[in-house]
Structure 1
Amino acid sequence: WRQLLQSLGEWYTRGGTVDWQAFHEVADDSPPRRKVHLPTYPFQRQRCWVDETLDKGAKTDLLPETSLFNLLREGDTEQLAEQLRKAEGLSEKELEQLPRLLEILAKQYRKETAANDIKDWLYEIQWQSQARPSVVTGPSGHWLIFADRGGMGKALAGRLEESGDSCFLVYADKAYQNQENGIWRIDPARAGDFDRLFTEAFQEEALPLQGIVHLWSLDAADTRELTTETLAQAQLLGCGSVVHLLQAQASKAKTSQDRADPSRSVASSKLWLVTRNAISVAQHSNPSAQDPLAVAQTPLWGLGKVIALEHAELWGAMIDNPEVTDLLAEIRAESDPEENDDQVAYRDGQRYVARLVRSSPPVPGNTSLSPEDSYLITGGLGALGLKIARWMVDQGVRYLILAGRHDPSMEARELLDGLEEVGAKIMVASTDVSDQGQIAHLFEEIDDGMPPLRGVIHAAGVLDKEILVQQDWDRFHRVMAAKVEGSWHLHTLTRAMPLDFFICFSSSASLLGGFRTGSYAAASAFMDTLAHLRHTMGLPGLAVDWNMWASDRASQDASLNNPDKLAGYAMDTEIGLRILGVLLGQADSAAQVAVLPEDVSTFLQDSYAGQDPPLFLSELYRPVVDELSGPSDFIKELEKTPPEKQRDYLAAHVQSEINKVIGFGSSQMIDFQKGFFDLGMDSLMAMELKNRLQTSFGCSLPSTLVFKYPTPIALLDYIATGILKLESQEKAAVKQTVDESEEVLGEVEQLSEEELEALINETLRI
């Protein structure tokens, strides 16, 4: 049999035609067969089983080549029972129990093999202990501290002033007030207050701005006191104020970058975001029910990942739970982006840094779907929600509640009708989960008309992509509401219910960030910590940080970078549902898991192409600088150009690349003295320009290139002298003159006396 298969395979791979259907129809006495999904695209690399040839003398009981194992693998418990009945040694009572035991065995086998199949897709955050950074005493300057009411900001200012710095303290309040003593009060909701603050605080005669420390999140409501209102206020105090701060800082930098005044440092002063107990450090003493995780502060961690991408030039770090001494060390640390961690937590005086690592293989759990209980899917009427609903019915579920903000479409209704035809009872609810009254009413309807609720899948979400400097708070909060307020309402309304699982569909944006996904990443980070909070309360909770589903455009749009470029990494729906099935089975053992492509290194290489990835990813991926194997076409042409003309050739090339990025005509003249942002460039364009120049020169360039050299002339000077080591035009011209003189002198030395006399007479005659 094996030889027959080998021969057919060799014939087929050499171009021969095989009637596989006919082969299967006549080969009735063959061993059981199964379909195996093989990779057909480069991005689908995965492990595939290979049957090894067994030694003839080897014992084959229950090994992969035996019929018993094949029957178990196929789940054919009837044939398996029949085979075992023929064996001797089983009593009549044992034979009666055999079918049930084999069903349990087959089910457990499926669980374990499914868990093994998906293990390469799963990742988790690991917190590693690390020494405090080295502190450097830099030049004196201003520090802008958005101070908390608990006194940490004031204490930090005192320590900084002891070393010769000056500090401005800014407190959150209901109206703008400059108290003239280095203290401001501003409204977090008013973007104009932040613009006014930067205008008044940083005049031309002011000392340079060394950095900005944001501590307002420390004033957010305690988790035990959270209500819908205080949760919304906390988001404004945290994410809302940081977005307005970032916009004001970027605006001030734009207006000052062309002037050689001290306030120009606003363009590169770093931002540090500080929280307290906002994240779970799994291997150390975490907040408990008596001192719960501060979920209201957590969205700032998702937002920070996006700031790091969109504004690398302004990014410092996120720091959780530091003492004043710890915080001082962090903001005064040596500034080396390649060595500095930007996700830091302190627990009991120990410093921890975050790393994304492969997750341990999932352990099959005891959670299972029951035909007797009901299950809620929010976002259940969307494309992904409907696929989950159909999958759950295929698993035996007979009672489903699908909640969505809109009525089901015609296609959705057809699918629901099909599910009901196979015996499922579907409750459709037009419910906005961010509205506490609506979701409470839905639970009343579930209590009245459905069996006990045993599981929740929160897959509702809204995506509104925009870069942070163009965001407004209403749009930002609208995206936050479905995931933040929605998951919080589900949490509070189900706390007393004996749920088997509570699964939040989060996003990998909360871990990796993503251009134009600030609000989505922030909202997803909230759900991540909510799952950890539920675990500390003894409740089931699992946040799944999904990457991209092939069937869900929203998850693709929330990807790290260009969704079209990364579309090949989108997860097939069948794989996603298989992963969901395994995670659901162990939903009571893990609080958070990330689902990323199996070939994560290649995925991250493509995602961060031309960018500096954070140390958070260093366990999985180290960027490979794409040094050219030989000089690029531009470098070859530059080398052919006379030295005195090389700078002009470089300037023309830089201008062409700038025009391509901004969208100007290739030959359009630009003002080299004008700032990039005044020319119409934004942060994403700045990254694209850096990537294009990096390719041209065949070397790595810093991600902050355009921000450190904010005008075309400054950039040109840096490239000419710092990268390509070109001589100045004046020096090149002098060198050319000297070279020409030496060449003429050499020719003269070769002349005879008669030829030299004739040359002199000819020259004098001219």
Structure 2
Amino acid sequence: SVLPSLSSWRRQSREQSTVDGWRYRVTWKRIADPATARLSGTWLVAVPEGVDATAVTGALTEHGAEVRTLAVAGESRVELAARIREASDEVAGALLLPGGGLTDAVTLLQALGDAGVAAPLWCLTRGAVAVNSAERLAEPEQALVWGMGRVASMEQGGRWGGLLDLPDQADERTLARLVGLLAGDGAEDQVALRPAGLYGRRLVRARLADVPAVREWKPQGTTLVTGGTGTLGAQVARWLAGKGASHLVLASRRGPEAPGAAELREELTALGAEVTVAACDVSDREALAALIAEIPAEHPLTAVVHTAAVLDDGVVEALTPERMREVLRLKVDATRHLHELTRDLDLSAFVLFSSFAATFGAPGQGNQAPGNAFLDAFAEHRRAAGLPATSIAWGPWDSAAGDGGAAGDRMRRHGILVMPPERTLVCLQHALDRDETTLTVVDMDWKRFTLAFTADRDRPLLLGLPEARRVIESVERESAEALTGGIPLAQQLAGLPEAEQERTVLELVRTAVAAVLGHSDLSSIEAGRAFKELGFDSLTSVDLRNRLGAVSGLKLPASLVFDHPTPAAVAAFLRAGIVPDAAAGGAPLLEELDKLEAVLEHGTSDNVVRARVTMRLQSLLAKWNDAGDPAAPASGDEISDDSAPVDVLDDVDRLQDASDEELFAFINKGLGRA
């Protein structure tokens, strides 16, 4: 009779141990002040409308910088790039002052790239983060910039500087610390500057044992689930019904017309819940207010779970104001409306579904991470006002859209593993029982993730995790060994003949391409095959850029595979950067040959055209051999027996203008049919 209880206890213990290992939280660690430093060169300071730049520009000037200010007030990317070109030819660094919103930050980063500015951009905020419970996170909208910046740090390489949050009043000492960070090595790229000192952002474990439960949360009255007919919303609704929810309101754009809505309603009703499936755009304040007003008095609204989202992934370089507005409509506007329309109600839970991309950043999440970073910040903002709020930055659920296809494969290769919904919902229960404010729940293979996450720059965020820190301490050696056998690439190429240099770099590129695409061998990675044909997209392009940048030591552009569309072209570009003489050698010619090879691969079924092309190529090859052979005879000299026969060269030249009949006669002669 004891065995079933023991078995159940063991199963629950194993499950709790698993989900306990998925729980993390962001904290702020006091870090040392930077050394006294001076700036040099021209610093471009972007000043949002209505912002006083005097204190910051004065500090930069006092510490050696030549400051050029640039007013930003909603200009387009093209207009801003033109103004940046006018401001200065050489920029050592760029700064966006507090008050600049997400659109300003994205447009400025894009315009700097368009203007050819390779210097790093630092974004300053005020009130975007709180370093302890005594602080009030005053400006959650400024957290949008932090979410974008974490993505930019992974996509933009050396063009991204960091994120710095200023206090309400920045005194001379704070401004000196600011200059020290700007002039430093960029090791700390997410810092809060406070009168007491500097605080660096860190991720630490949030063990269940360290956060005791304060209640056993259960749904009472009505629970409103936004995005309620979507994949995540439906999972949450089933969980709530299983916990005894008396009334569920599932709101979505299509409501009862959403695929599977009728079946979901029947399923939840069978579990004992009364269910209302409503068509409501929760970013429309009036529509949401009307929906809340219709909730029956006998089942008052006591909990909100906001899962609604619009998925429109994209790299920062490709974002437009329109794309950003569509995503932020549900992340920012809807959250604000839910808050304002329920803050006077006696809620026991106000749950926001964020994403791990808000915690870490992720290539291609430039349009999602900002909104999710806002959710995390807004939970802190709401909690500081004495209201319930819980924002969970989830890793991928195995029933969500992120677990399949190329995106899911990339996450798994980078150590981000999917989590079964039944266990993620256990995590949600734990968070509500402990009335936690923010939490990151993700299943990580820390070795794989850390290797990928730290491939192109230092990531102090992970220094609070022992398992990640161990990898960080050896990441440079392991990454180099993975592609170059532990020998620096420049050292490998030194002293090698050009042909061997080309072969070495090409094999390096092909190996990196295979790793990015998850191939176990190089057979399908043809040197002249276009990256697009190999299956590359914006995310894999950034991944390849980061890998090659880490192993080559070069600062590579985010557009690497678009500017150099084949492995051979990228190899030529890398070799030219490592061995400068290569730039004046054959690299441009090889790139042109790559393009020609790509055209020839498509071929043609027209024999006449094929014959003409063949003859033309033979003629070019003969001329190339003559031009490159110092022993070749001058024009008019006799050609030796081991060279191309004179009559063949003459035939080639004549065939350039031959008629179709003459060309067919030549082909038949060559085939012995004359």
- TM-score between the two structures when normalised by the length of structure 1: 0.64
Residues 1:471 and 2:316 are matched in the alignment: no
Name the residue aligned to 1:460: 308
Which of 76, 86, 91 is matched with 1:190 structurally? 76
Instruction: Map 1:33-48 to 2 at 5 A.
Output: none
Name the residue aligned to 2:92: 210
Name the residue aligned to 2:45: 145
* Letter in structure 2 aligned against 1:168: R
Q: Return closer, same or farther for 1:469/1:333 CA change in 2, 3 Å cut-off.
A: same
Q: Return closer, same or farther for 1:197/1:682 CA change in 2, 3 Å cut-off.
A: farther
Q: Return closer, same or farther for 1:133/1:298 CA change in 2, 3 Å cut-off.
A: same
Q: Return closer, same or farther for 1:132/1:556 CA change in 2, 3 Å cut-off.
A: farther
Q: Return closer, same or farther for 1:305/1:293 CA change in 2, 3 Å cut-off.
A: same
Name the residue aligned to 2:380: 532
CA distance in 2, matches of 1:524, 1:464: 13
User: Deviation of residue 608 (structure 1)?
Assistant: 2.3
* Letter in structure 1 aligned against 2:217: S
Residues 1:242 and 2:89 are matched in the alignment: no
Which of 314, 317, 328 is matched with 1:480 structurally? 328
User: Deviation of residue 357 (structure 1)?
Assistant: 0.4
Name the residue aligned to 2:262: 413
CA distance in 1, matches of 2:293, 2:74: 37
CA distance in 2, matches of 1:280, 1:341: 17
Comparing 612-621 with 681-690, which one deviates more in the overlay? 681-690
User: Deviation of residue 635 (structure 1)?
Assistant: 8.2
Comparing 129-138 with 390-399, which one deviates more in the overlay? 129-138
Which of 138, 144, 160 is matched with 1:293 structurally? 138
* Letter in structure 1 aligned against 2:192: A
Q: Return closer, same or farther for 1:594/1:690 CA change in 2, 3 Å cut-off.
A: closer
Asked if structure 2 preserves the Cα contact closer than 8 Å seen for 1:154 and 1:169, the reply is no
* Letter in structure 2 aligned against 1:506: S
User: Deviation of residue 274 (structure 1)?
Assistant: 0.8
CA distance in 1, matches of 2:450, 2:62: 44
User: Deviation of residue 496 (structure 1)?
Assistant: 0.4
User: Deviation of residue 658 (structure 1)?
Assistant: 5.8
Residues 1:691 and 2:547 are matched in the alignment: yes
User: Deviation of residue 191 (structure 1)?
Assistant: 2.0
Spell out, residue by residue over 1:249-276, the C-alpha distance to the aligned partner (whole angstroms, 9 max, x if none): 11122xxxxxxxxxxxx21x11111111
Name the residue aligned to 1:506: 354
CA distance in 1, matches of 2:19, 2:486: 46
Name the residue aligned to 2:25: 124
- TM-score between the two structures when normalised by the length of structure 2: 0.72
Secondary structure of the equivalent of 1:446? coil
Spell out, residue by residue over 1:62-107, the C-alpha distance to the aligned partner (whole angstroms, 9 max, x if none): xxxxxxxx7xx99xxxxxxxxxxxxxxxxxxxxxxxxxxxxxxxxx
CA distance in 1, matches of 2:26, 2:278: 36
CA distance in 2, matches of 1:467, 1:119: 33
User: Deviation of residue 375 (structure 1)?
Assistant: 0.5
Name the residue aligned to 2:87: 201
CA distance in 2, matches of 1:546, 1:350: 31
CA distance in 2, matches of 1:466, 1:35: 47
User: Deviation of residue 477 (structure 1)?
Assistant: 1.6
Residues 1:342 and 2:189 are matched in the alignment: yes
User: Deviation of residue 170 (structure 1)?
Assistant: 2.1
Root mean square deviation, CA, Å: 3.9
Which of 269, 272, 282 is matched with 2:132 structurally? 282
Asked if structure 1 preserves the Cα contact closer than 8 Å seen for 2:140 and 2:378, the reply is yes
Structure 2, unaligned runs of 5 or more: 518-523, 531-535, 564-569, 582-674
Instruction: Map 1:153-192 to 2 at 5 A.
Output: 153-172=53-72, 187-192=73-78
Q: How high is the sequence identity, in percent, across the aligned residues?
A: 26
CA distance in 1, matches of 2:370, 2:492: 51
Q: Return closer, same or farther for 1:640/1:321 CA change in 2, 3 Å cut-off.
A: closer
Name the residue aligned to 1:134: 35
CA distance in 1, matches of 2:315, 2:259: 35
Spell out, residue by residue over 1:420-459, the C-alpha distance to the aligned partner (whole angstroms, 9 max, x if none): 13431101111111111111111111156x6111111111
Name the residue aligned to 2:575: 716
Q: Return closer, same or farther for 1:703/1:516 CA change in 2, 3 Å cut-off.
A: farther
Secondary structure of the equivalent of 2:69? strand
* Letter in structure 2 aligned against 1:647: E
User: Deviation of residue 407 (structure 1)?
Assistant: 2.9
Asked if structure 2 preserves the Cα contact closer than 8 Å seen for 1:380 and 1:404, the reply is yes
Secondary structure of the equivalent of 1:353? strand
Q: Return closer, same or farther for 1:514/1:412 CA change in 2, 3 Å cut-off.
A: same
Asked if structure 2 preserves the Cα contact closer than 8 Å seen for 1:214 and 1:272, the reply is yes
User: Deviation of residue 524 (structure 1)?
Assistant: 0.7
Name the residue aligned to 1:10: none
* Letter in structure 1 aligned against 2:306: H
Which of 423, 432, 441 is matched with 2:290 structurally? 441
Residues 1:312 and 2:157 are matched in the alignment: yes
Task: Count how many residue pairs are aligned between Structure 1 and Structure 2.
Answer: 546
User: Deviation of residue 192 (structure 1)?
Assistant: 2.4
Name the residue aligned to 1:31: 3
User: Deviation of residue 708 (structure 1)?
Assistant: 14
Instruction: Map 1:269-668 to 2 at 5 A.
Output: 269-282=119-132, 285-287=134-136, 293-322=138-167, 323=170, 325=172, 326-333=174-181, 337=185, 340-361=187-208, 362-370=211-219, 373-408=221-256, 409-447=258-296, 451-554=299-402, 562-563=410-411, 565=413, 569-587=417-435, 590-597=436-443, 599=444, 601-602=446-447, 604-605=449-450, 607-608=452-453, 610-620=455-465, 621-622=468-469, 623=472, 624=475, 625-626=477-478, 645-655=496-506, 666-668=526-528
Asked if structure 2 preserves the Cα contact closer than 8 Å seen for 1:114 and 1:582, the reply is no
User: Deviation of residue 707 (structure 1)?
Assistant: 8.1
* Letter in structure 1 aligned against 2:544: E
Spell out, residue by residue over 1:203-238, the C-alpha distance to the aligned partner (whole angstroms, 9 max, x if none): xxx4x2111110152xxxxxxxxxxxxxxxxxxx41
Q: Return closer, same or farther for 1:193/1:350 CA change in 2, 3 Å cut-off.
A: same
CA distance in 2, matches of 1:636, 1:250: 29
CA distance in 2, matches of 1:687, 1:544: 27
* Letter in structure 2 aligned against 1:307: A
Spell out, residue by residue over 1:302-342, the C-alpha distance to the aligned partner (whole angstroms, 9 max, x if none): 111001000121111111124264345334447665x6211
Structure 1, unaligned runs of 5 or more: 1-28, 37-69, 75-109, 173-186, 218-236, 254-265, 671-679, 695-699, 723-766
CA distance in 2, matches of 1:115, 1:602: 23
Q: Return closer, same or farther for 1:247/1:568 CA change in 2, 3 Å cut-off.
A: closer
Secondary structure of the equivalent of 2:255? coil
CA distance in 1, matches of 2:106, 2:171: 25
Asked if structure 1 preserves the Cα contact closer than 8 Å seen for 2:23 and 2:206, the reply is yes
Asked if structure 2 preserves the Cα contact closer than 8 Å seen for 1:127 and 1:354, the reply is yes
Secondary structure of the equivalent of 1:32? helix
User: Deviation of residue 365 (structure 1)?
Assistant: 2.5
Q: Return closer, same or farther for 1:639/1:382 CA change in 2, 3 Å cut-off.
A: closer
CA distance in 2, matches of 1:115, 1:438: 41
CA distance in 2, matches of 1:335, 1:701: 24
User: Deviation of residue 118 (structure 1)?
Assistant: 2.9
Q: Greater Rg, structure 1 or structure 2?
A: 1
Name the residue aligned to 1:97: none
Asked if structure 2 preserves the Cα contact closer than 8 Å seen for 1:213 and 1:271, the reply is yes
Spell out, residue by residue over 1:633-653, the C-alpha distance to the aligned partner (whole angstroms, 9 max, x if none): 898999999x86533311244
CA distance in 2, matches of 1:247, 1:390: 43
User: Deviation of residue 151 (structure 1)?
Assistant: 5.5
CA distance in 1, matches of 2:486, 2:325: 47
User: Deviation of residue 502 (structure 1)?
Assistant: 0.6
CA distance in 2, matches of 1:506, 1:114: 23
User: Deviation of residue 667 (structure 1)?
Assistant: 4.9
Q: Return closer, same or farther for 1:308/1:682 CA change in 2, 3 Å cut-off.
A: same
